[in-house]
Chains A and B, each alone.
Chain A
Amino acid sequence: MIERIHSLGRGAFELLRRPLSRAFDSEQNPLNHLGALTIYFCWIVLISGIWLLIFFRTSVSSAFESVEYLTREQWYLGGIMRSLHRYASDALIITILLHVIKEFVFNRYRLNRWFNWVTGIPLVWIIFPLGITGYWLVWDELAQYVAIASAELLDSVPIFTNSMAGNFMSDELLSDRFFTLMAFLHLIGLPIFLVFGIWLHVFRLNGPRINPPRRMMAAALLAMLVLSVVYPAISHDKADLSMAPQVLRFDWFYLHVYPLIQRWSPGWVWFLLVGISVLLTIAPWAPPARKTTVAVVDLDNCNGCKRCVDDCPFGAVEMVPRTDGSNYTHEASVDEELCISCGICVGACPTATPFRSRSALVPGIDLPNQTAADIRQDIIDRAEPPANAPRVMVFGCRDDEQTKRMLKAGQNVVTVRCMAHLQPSFLDFVLSRDHAEGILLLGCEDGNCNYRLGAEWTEARIGRERDPRLRKRTDTSRLAMGWQAPWSDIKDPVKRLAAFKASLENEEGNV
């Protein structure tokens, strides 16, 4: 059932991903940086907010005028900052929504990833009040509506003895203290919780991506700037508590549940919000995912080099003092709770080399249910006879749709957990031992690595920038990384393979 939902969701996500992959290569595709893009929009909100704060006056009588001053008299800076503040806040709701959907449909919220998933839910409960209190501070007709509807929502919780909404019945009843409280929440209280919440959300990850690529940052800022200039954010008329706001330019990103307060009742709105949050919170265990076998350290082959620790995307490997009395000071140790069996640690281990012939291929760290020796045997078994030249050995990620499509099309694919599960010497092994003339690494579609850093580490290892590096004798022109241009432009992996074979043939012909 849950797999069916994931599959349907991936299909829907594909509808968005496909046109975007025309516009962006994998590194620049915003869908591969949704979390980082959200944090980046938060930065825009913060910096523009600081400018607004300089001129903002936190009292009922002068808040509206101070925002009007920023919007109209100081339009060239304050007005643009206000619009940036508004639109970046809205944009981050889109990126959050896509981030949640993506992690869900690609099944990246269960097993050891439950922590990141669950800690993301309070962030949503912080961000929405943050945005809503921001609307409140303008003290225009929309703010009046938001204030009263929010108070009605809070009044329905049976913990307040007096009606909060009753404070908004006339200008005389409304006190500056209440307004100052909202300003405090928006400017200091909630942002502090947000920063702490973001830290909690990512701190268990190894090398979390806090910033998107620079080009993407520039493009996102430019997009928001252009929108701010073309369609600047403006206020409604000043709040008048003797009148009911009639037609409102509604921000549906933040206020989408508010009409339900009138249409249903505040109690049902709470039920909806809390119900969704509870469902999301229990999602990682509904149903529980099958725990896979975790990586195992073989101390006879572990020299404590720490590369597995550096490369593990989930911080599941740590160095501990040696326990076997050898001369090395440290050894790798796997945290079973955090390990997700991606095999990236195996790909980082210098001893996971298929060229070992004097001793059995037992690396310092390995996956028991798909050992490095299993992969070597799979390569040997799947090697085609030389008569089929140019022969291309295809490596696919086990959970990726492209691998499934290739297998369905009857193609010969060596399946690994992640591209970074392959230690680079395996690529050298394939070419130097004449198992194929070329290698196609399918990877995850558009470089959207199921284990966060697989594509990045693979590129760095093949590019000889990160240990273990690909040997210099390996001809990289015979290697194709499917998530990189020009191969990523060919969406069908079968056609991509055919194109790569054709390029190898051309190369042979030219020689």
Chain B
Amino acid sequence: MKLFYEILAWAVFSLVVGLLSVWPRYSLVDEHNAIITVTISHAAQRIGECRILTQEELNKLPPNMRKPSDCPRERHAVRFEMRSGDNVLYEDVLLPSGVWSDGKANIYQRVVVPAGRHDVYVGMNDSGGETGFDYETQASLDIASGRNVVVRFDPELQQFTIR
């Protein structure tokens, strides 16, 4: 009898292991939805122009630090907006990274949308303006259920890619 209980105990243990290793199922997106993922790592424009130092100012500096221009390190925040028609899917203002606020601003956002046709508009401002966007693109997409559409900003071409 004890052996029976022992086998039963190990069987229950195995059952728990087997069951919780696959069940309950988990769904990241519902059956009729899709995802648009925005992933942007972009260094915005600096907050001011470089200034040429006068000879007097240069003379005050140690010889090894006499750079002719003084450029501010800080960058503007990146303002981003993504719409489907008139519906704003995602908008945010991202500060530059780094202790001196001179690094890239990183956007990574997943937006769940219903599968189907979407007229997607994407805009990004990196020059500190309150209105308008420095970079824009539009695309008419037919997004299948479960699809992951990625919105990126190509730093070399300085333009958005949606695919």
Contact = CB atoms under 8 A, between A and B. Distances in A.
Interface of A: 19-20, 22-25, 28, 30, 86-87, 90-91, 94, 145, 152, 155, 158, 161-163, 165-166, 169-170, 219-220, 222-224, 226-227, 230-231, 233, 241-253, 255, 259, 262
A48 to B, nearest CB: 14
Contacts of B20: 90, 251-253
B28 A251 contact: no
- Classify chain B: how many residues form its interface, as a range: 35 or more
A246 B146 contact: yes
Interface stretch (B7-15, B83-91, B123-131, B134-142): B7-15
Contact of A22 (B5, B107, B150): B5
Given A155-B108, A163-B108, A223-B14, A169 B37 contact: yes
A243 B13 contact: no
Contact of A227 (B17, B28, B34, B107): B17
Interface in B1-38: 2, 5-6, 8-11, 13-14, 16-18, 20-29, 31, 34-35, 37
B47 to A, nearest CB: 19
B113 to A, nearest CB: 11
B29 A251 contact: no
B22 A251 contact: yes
Contacts, number: 124
A167 B106 CA distance: 13
B8 to A, nearest CB: 7
B57 to A, nearest CB: 32
A265 B84 CA distance: 24
Contacts of A243: 146-148
Contacts of B29: 244, 246
B41 A231 contact: no
Given A152-B108, A246-B29, A248-B25, A94 B34 contact: no
Given A22-B5, A244-B29, A244-B146, A249 B23 contact: yes
A219 B11 CA distance: 10
Contacts of A152: 108
A166 B97 CA distance: 16
Contact of A91 (B13, B26, B37): B13
A226 B17 CA distance: 12
B75 to A, nearest CB: 13
B48 to A, nearest CB: 23
A162 B16 CA distance: 40
Contacts of A165: 39, 108
A242 B148 contact: yes
Contact of B27 (A219, A231, A248): A248
Nearest to A225: B14
B27 A246 contact: yes
Contacts of A233: 21
B114 interface: no
Given A25-B2, A166-B106, 13 more contacts: A23-B2, A87-B18, A158-B97, A161-B98, A163-B106, A163-B108, A166-B108, A169-B37, A169-B39, A241-B148, A242-B150, A246-B146, A249-B25
